[in-house]
Protein backbone atom coordinates (compact mmCIF):
# COMPACT_ATOMS: atom_id res chain seq x y z
CA UNK A 1 0.00 0.00 0.00
CA UNK A 2 1.40 3.42 -0.94
CA UNK A 3 2.22 5.76 1.98
CA UNK A 4 -0.63 8.13 1.09
CA UNK A 5 -3.06 5.23 0.75
CA UNK A 6 -1.90 3.84 4.10
CA UNK A 7 -2.46 7.19 5.81
CA UNK A 8 -5.90 7.50 4.23
CA UNK A 9 -6.82 3.95 5.28
CA UNK A 10 -5.72 4.66 8.86
CA UNK A 11 -7.82 7.83 8.97
CA UNK A 12 -10.87 6.01 7.63
CA UNK A 13 -10.38 3.28 10.23
CA UNK A 14 -10.28 5.96 12.93
CA UNK A 15 -13.54 7.36 11.54
CA UNK A 16 -15.13 3.90 11.84
CA UNK A 17 -13.76 3.42 15.38
CA UNK A 18 -15.08 6.70 16.75
CA UNK A 19 -18.54 5.19 17.32
CA UNK A 20 -17.21 2.94 20.06
CA UNK A 21 -15.17 5.68 21.70
CA UNK A 22 -17.78 8.39 22.34
CA UNK A 23 -20.84 7.38 24.37
CA UNK A 24 -23.27 10.02 23.08
CA UNK A 25 -23.20 8.65 19.50
CA UNK A 26 -26.50 6.84 18.77
CA UNK A 27 -26.10 6.05 15.06
CA UNK A 28 -22.95 6.00 12.96
CA UNK A 29 -22.27 5.24 9.32
CA UNK A 30 -19.09 5.80 7.29
CA UNK A 31 -19.12 5.07 3.56
CA UNK A 32 -16.80 5.63 0.62
CA UNK A 33 -17.90 7.24 -2.63
CA UNK A 34 -18.64 4.59 -5.26
CA UNK A 35 -18.86 6.67 -8.45
CA UNK A 36 -15.96 8.77 -9.70
CA UNK A 37 -17.52 12.15 -10.47
CA UNK A 38 -15.87 15.55 -9.88
CA UNK A 39 -18.77 16.75 -7.73
CA UNK A 40 -18.53 13.82 -5.26
CA UNK A 41 -16.74 13.73 -1.92
CA UNK A 42 -14.51 10.75 -1.12
CA UNK A 43 -16.33 9.74 2.07
CA UNK A 44 -19.49 10.47 4.01
CA UNK A 45 -19.95 10.14 7.74
CA UNK A 46 -23.52 10.20 8.97
CA UNK A 47 -24.16 10.28 12.71
CA UNK A 48 -27.07 10.62 15.08
CA UNK A 49 -27.42 11.99 18.61
CA UNK A 50 -30.27 12.27 21.12
CA UNK A 51 -30.17 16.05 21.09
CA UNK A 52 -27.99 19.12 20.55
CA UNK A 53 -26.23 18.50 23.87
CA UNK A 54 -25.17 15.06 22.60
CA UNK A 55 -23.97 16.60 19.33
CA UNK A 56 -21.95 19.20 21.21
CA UNK A 57 -20.45 16.56 23.51
CA UNK A 58 -19.32 14.70 20.39
CA UNK A 59 -18.02 17.79 18.59
CA UNK A 60 -15.82 18.84 21.50
CA UNK A 61 -14.76 15.35 22.61
CA UNK A 62 -10.92 15.11 22.59
CA UNK A 63 -10.90 11.95 20.45
CA UNK A 64 -13.09 13.66 17.83
CA UNK A 65 -10.97 16.82 17.94
CA UNK A 66 -7.78 14.80 17.38
CA UNK A 67 -9.30 13.00 14.39
CA UNK A 68 -10.57 16.25 12.88
CA UNK A 69 -7.12 17.83 13.15
CA UNK A 70 -5.67 14.92 11.16
CA UNK A 71 -8.54 14.70 8.64
CA UNK A 72 -8.23 18.39 7.77
CA UNK A 73 -4.68 17.77 6.53
CA UNK A 74 -5.94 15.27 3.91
CA UNK A 75 -9.54 16.01 2.98
CA UNK A 76 -11.83 18.85 2.02
CA UNK A 77 -15.07 18.55 3.89
CA UNK A 78 -18.45 20.00 4.71
CA UNK A 79 -20.88 19.48 7.57
CA UNK A 80 -24.65 19.60 7.70
CA UNK A 81 -26.56 19.54 10.99
CA UNK A 82 -30.23 18.61 10.64
CA UNK A 83 -33.12 17.01 12.50
CA UNK A 84 -34.97 14.01 11.15
CA UNK A 85 -38.64 14.29 12.13
CA UNK A 86 -40.10 11.33 13.98
CA UNK A 87 -42.55 9.33 11.95
CA UNK A 88 -45.95 8.55 13.44
**What torsion, rounded to 10 degrees, do the Cα atoms 7, 80, 55, 51 define?**
-150
Is residue 68 scored above 90 in pLDDT? yes
Alpha carbon 25 to its chain centroid, in Å, reads 11
Spell out the residues 6+ positions from residue 15 whose beta carbon is closer than 8 angstroms to its own. Answer: 30, 43, 45, 67, 71
- How far is 74 from 55, CA to CA, in rounded Å? 24
The predicted model gives 41-64 an average pLDDT of 95
Which pLDDT score is estimated for 87? Answer: 78
pTM assigned to the model: 0.84
pLDDT tens-digit map of 4-40: 999 999 999 999 999 999 999 999 999 999 998 989 8
Amino acid sequence: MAPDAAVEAALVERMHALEGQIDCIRTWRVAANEVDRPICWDYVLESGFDDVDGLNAYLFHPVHQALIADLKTRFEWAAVDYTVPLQA
